Structure 1
Amino acid sequence: MSQRKIKTLEVGDGWWGSGERPPEEKEDESIRPFRIETSDREIQDLHERLDRARYTPPLEGTAFQYGFNTTYLRRVVAYWRNQFNWQKQVEILNQYPHFKTTIEGIDIHFIHVKPLHVPRGQIVRPLLMVHGWPGSFFEFYKIIPLLTDPARHGLNEDVVFEVICPSIPGYGFSEAPHQRGFDTLAAARIFHKLMERLGFKEFYVQGGDWGSRITTNMAQMQAKQVKGLHLNMVFISSSGLGRLVSLILGAYVPWLVGLTREDCRRLFPYLEKNVYELLRETGYLHIQATKPDTAGCGLNDSPVALAAYILEKFSTWTDKSFRDLDDGGLERKFSLDDLLTNVMIYWVTSSIVPSMRFYKENVSTNPTTAPDARVEVYVPTGLAVFPQELVYTPRTWAKEKFKNIVAYTYMPRGGHFAAFEEPKLMAEDIKQLVRKVECL
């Protein structure tokens, strides 16, 4: 299909600052260095709140079946209070260059990591990586060195990146929108402006969770700028009767509807208990898509509540079987230092409420009638399908929206927080996309 026939999303403009947009005032487009800082008072306040925590004993033998097990929560809080060193973690966070710039009235935070050593003749490719909820830019700290300095980590250096990781507005150190209506389309537009401001005419994008939808929107807006789109979670709107027929026939003659044997292995066990799984795992979504501020008030006031709310997702969304473990399996894939660093990013910035509001702004209307639901994606796309992801999308379904899938990988392990859990698998898959796009 020729480029002229491809339907794109309107880019438009927006204003998310406080009050009315200043008339005819040019926005400050400077890129300002930024460092994360902490203080003794901040840590003292945290410790006082941790010391005052109240706990309700869990039901006997329930593990994580009712949510975060409070017996294990006491252990997490004890570590947080007595062993976790936030000042040390701030130094780790500051190992990469941080910046802020003002776009559409709010300050956008991002890290920008360039390779220290580039092989002679090697092209450095810009890559924008976008996180989701309840994650942060910190999710990418394990994968960044594999992308920017692959040779040092035993990986092929035929593809080298400079990596830009922004914080979604309202998350972490990006300013929260002051106006209603900030959705993935607005975030996509802002991140396009960010990349343009950094001087990139072409770049790759990668995302999971909300990052998946934001980067997909970016590809729908300005396909010429996005050279390739890599996703580890796929958002597609249901196609009603066609999808139902696909499921019915797929159970008996999968090849007739484009399902592979691996699709059947992953898809049908999930569908058999799909309704129960959805009820059990989407309670947070119903709260955040309707009345985020109500629950958010308590989470913003109590670090213990915040940790339980966030870390429960790092348990179940990493592996569903972790619900049956007394410790939620949290330390099987992560360290408590890593997990609590992510929680602290939400705590010190008071960003849990605006991060939850992002659901209301995006889910309050029918997703099948949203502007991006009617626009297909023609940017070369790579899909990494992790077995423990919340939703499973066969390639044949993904093709309804993504018209140029050049790579579709059945990952051997991993869940929702792919870059955090399996950085090497993710890095290799992103590089695979680039090789196919650029015929390397």
Structure 2
Amino acid sequence: MSAGLGAGAPQAQAATVAGLTLPPAGKDIQRFDLHVPQSALNDLRRRLASARLPEAETVDDVSQGVRIDRLRGLVAYWRTRYDWRELEARLNRLGQYRTEIDGLGIHFLHIRSPHADALPVILNHGWPGSFVEFLDVIGPLTDPTRYGGSARDAFHVVIPSMPGHGFSDRPGRTGWDTARIAGAWVELMRRLGYRRYIAQGGDWGGSVTTQMARLRPSGLLGVHLNLPEFMLTNTPLGDSTPEEQAAIAQQQVFGAQGSGYFQEQGTRPQTVGYGLADSPTGQAAWIYEKFTDWTDSDHRPEQVLGHERMLDDITLYWLTNTGASSARLYWEFYQDTHELTVLDLPVGVSVFPAELVRTPRVWAEKAYKNLVYFNDDIAAGGHFAAFEQPGIFTKELRSYARLVR
């Protein structure tokens, strides 16, 4: 990383909610209760009502991006039916906190299990996700007996917001890549008093989880991934078996047809950020496209996520104005070369059927010398595993955790 870039900028830019700066975070852990000003929600509806859209696409599929009839429907629902206050109240009931780590205020949910022997787990989101992805797994993970499970599968759950996302501060200087975030999450778990725990993640969260494992902090028992970090590397892992050939073909399709957002956010996050900061319709389309392409829904994410849950995530990005700051993680990725991270602590991998690239077992075995759990026979789900299929995700995490508790 070039140390001179951004040297004159402040180390952190405080998190905001609808233009209001959140109180500075300190070294202690502070309760954070949320109440977005009604004026901000009124402004959102005003902007949605005056949105200017382009003409319709010239194809009968999603090959040119979000179809105009789908976006119109989503925006109309957002303007007339969506209620942010329901999510706000749910978050305040669960328990939100902020603490300063490595110069940034970090936001996280922390929900302790009623079962004394519960195993702590830190759940790591990616883009364009957020802590919202994991809300429906909190109950089954923390209180399994209430959901027909066993107390032996209970977890204490920690869900941080990545720097530049949600209610965490936005880095004011370069250098906040997934390795640095991993170090911050290790400190977060230490500060919470957890001496034995596991980590889970997919997308950028998978990279952060992998980097946590590379650090081998005392107490980290193992990691579970639903999209391994090596899917982002240029490391050739093989091309001989049918499974490897299928994965390589998926990578090539993604590179040729689905990686435009990656290139834009990886090279010009500031430029794309202007439109995302100014237009909620633009922000909605930018995220909804990924729900359309990356869920196991035949390009109809409403069928698996519903309007409310999609808009919970989209509204979070809008109210916190994190279109640009979240995109900068892609820029950070482009600044370094990326080689295969080989891990030797216990690793579990769950391959959901509609993932962008389905991980072949032989690739996982090359990267993870202690691969204790691998499942590529999952009934449903795509890139947003916990968001789409909370029941299946919970089962997968439990199955892995039983091997390392």
The TM-score, its normalising length taken from structure 1, stands at: 0.83
CA distance in 2, matches of 1:158, 1:343: 35
2: CA distance, partners of 1:73 / 1:430:
34
- 3-state secondary structure, aligned to 1:138: helix
* Shift, 1:397, TM fit: 1.1
Aligned partner of residue 158 in structure 1, secondary structure: helix
Output one character per residue of 1:328-354: Cα deviation in whole Å (capped at 9) or x when no partner: x02110111111110111111111111
Could you tell me which of 18, 39, 42 is aligned with 1:44? 42
Aligned residue number for residue 321 of structure 2: 350
Q: What is the CA deviation profile of residues 95-153 of structure 1, one whole-angstrom value per residue up to 9, with x for unaligned ones?
A: 210000011111000000012x32xxx51111100100000011100111110011111
**Fraction of identical pairs, as percent:** 35
- Consecutive unaligned residues of structure 2, counting only runs of 5 or more, are 1-6, 13-24
Pick one of 106, 109, 117 that aligns with 1:108: 106
Quote the offset at 1:52 in angstroms. 1.1
Is the partner of 1:289 in helix, strand or coil? Answer: helix
Instruction: Give 1:367's aligned amino acid.
Output: H
Q: Give the direction of change, closer, same or farther, for the CA distance of 1:205–1:167 in structure 2 (3 Å limit).
A: same
What is the CA distance between 1:16 and its match in structure 2? Answer: 12
* TM-score, normalization by structure 2: 0.90
**Counterparts of 1:196 and 1:277 in 2: how far apart (Å)?**
38
**In the alignment, which residue of structure 1 is the partner of 2:3?**
none
Quick one: distance in 2 between partners of 1:159 and 1:143? 13
- Cα displacement (A) at 1:40: 1.5
1:247 corresponds to which letter in structure 2? D
Aligned match of 1:419: 386
CA contact (8 A) 2:297 2:303 kept: no
1:17 Cα deviation after fit: 8.6
The RMSD of aligned alpha carbons is 2.0
Cα distance in 2, alignment partners of residues 235 and 148 from structure 1: 27
Q: Post-superposition shift, 1:320?
A: 7.6
Structure 1 residue runs without a partner (length 5+):
1-14, 21-26, 252-263, 323-328
> Equivalent of 2:76, from 78, 101, 115?
78
Q: How many residues align?
A: 384
Correspondence for 1:33: 31
Q: 1:337 is matched with which residue?
A: 308
Indicate the residue corresponding to 1:311 in structure 2: 288
C-alpha contact (below 8 Å) 2:163/2:171 kept by paired residues: yes
For the 8 Å contact 1:317–1:415, the answer to whether it is kept is yes
**Which residue of 1 is the match for residue 279 of structure 2?**
302
How much has 1:379 moved relative to structure 2?
A: 1.5
1:388 aligns with 2:354: yes
The amino acid of 2:254's aligned partner reads: E
For 2:92, give the aligned amino acid. N
C-alpha distance in 1, partners of 2:252/2:100? 43
Q: Is the 8 A contact 1:223 1:378 kept in 2?
A: no
2:132 is the counterpart of 1:138: yes
Name the SS for the 2:313 alignment partner.
helix
Is the 8 Å Cα contact of residues 16 and 105 (structure 1) preserved in structure 2?
no
Partner in structure 1 of residue 19 of structure 2:
none
Code of the residue aligned with 2:400 in structure 1: it is: L
Cα distance in 2 for partners of 1:348, 1:16 equals 27
Letter in 2 for 1:70: I
The 1:61/1:238 distance shift into structure 2, 3 A limit, reads closer
Trace 1:128-207 onto structure 2 (pairs within 5 A): 128-207=122-201
Per the TM alignment, residue 238 of structure 1 is displaced from its structure 2 partner at its CA by 4.5
Answer yes or no: is 1:408 the counterpart of 2:374. Answer: yes
Q: 2: distance between equivalents of 1:415 and 1:293?
A: 29
State the SS of the aligned residue for 1:95. Answer: helix
CA distance in 2 between partners of 1:29 and 1:360 (Å)? 28
Q: Give how far 1:58 is off.
A: 1.6
Partner of 2:264: 287
Is the CA contact 2:111–2:156 (under 8 Å) kept in the aligned structure 1?
yes
- Provide runs of 4+ in structure 1 moved above 3 Å: 237-240, 267-274
